[in-house]
Amino acid sequence: MNGNRRKRAALRDEILARAKDQVLLMGILNVTPDSFSDGGMFVDPRAALEQAEALDDAGADIIDVGGESTRPGAAPVSAEDETARVLAVIPGLCASYSRIVSIDTYKAEVAHAAAEAGAVIINDVWGMTRDAGMAKVVAETDSAVVVTYNRGEIQPDINIADDMRDFFANAFAMAAAAGIPREHVILDPGVGFGKTWQQNFDVLARLDVLMDFDVPVLVGVSRKSFIGRLLEREVQDRLIGTLAAGLASVQRGATILRVHDVREHADALKMLKAIDEAG
């Protein structure tokens, strides 16, 4: 095993072990011109590296780099362009031995390039179902993988808990067939992906379904439209709703929160922990 593989394996195992018994924060770093909340802010690699340092200082445990917006209606990006965007920043991010980097992509080609550059987690919003090569890349690069519950189409009349359970059972079968160890899998209920407005609340309320698989659970609700619709708030005014949904998810067993506002979540989690320990 070469030096890069050893480093990545050590960081992967460290973060997965920590996710078993403490709540971690994944800071969002979009190097895109059109993401719904921070599009265009960190396209310049220098600005991206400065933002990563700010996220670190605020308490981020993981930096999640995205090179293509996944907001509804976003223009598709080629694998070549997406790779160029993320590789402009990932090597610099990974120059720090202790920083743990995730790549937010559903494309196997992008995931492979990011892993070779040092990313240790592949965060796939399509749960390894959009690109047939993704499971192979996860296995070959010995990466951890976030599998997101994303059916790709909205069906209001399904039993969301049963469907989510079946989706993840199939995901574990796919992972096993590709040679991905079960302990390298993280589950995400996929708020905002292929769901009605109400189903976004339903999957958060039924995180017990994910607990049954006995692997870490990641929840990403930061500034999303289901919060804006409920509270009648624009994107930049959804922090309180985001915090409430995040804390409710932690109380239901989630151990990773993917967020824009790291410092505020770190404070909220510290308060929640103090109250729990006092009890």
- Residues annotated as catalytic are 224, 258
Residue 27 buriedness (CB in 10 A; 0-12 / 13-18 / 19+): buried
d(CA 116, CA 5): 9
Residue 175 buriedness (CB in 10 A; 0-12 / 13-18 / 19+): buried
The residue with tokens 């609340």 is 201
Backbone angles phi, psi at 126, to 5 degrees: -105, 10
Residue 214 buriedness (CB in 10 A; 0-12 / 13-18 / 19+): exposed
Backbone angles phi, psi at 160, to 5 degrees: -65, -35
The residue with tokens 């692997």 is 215
d(CA 145, CA 135): 9
User: Which amino acid belongs to residue 137?
Assistant: V
Among 52, 33, 34, 146, CA closest to 92: 52
d(CA 267, CA 271): 6
d(CA 204, CA 195): 12
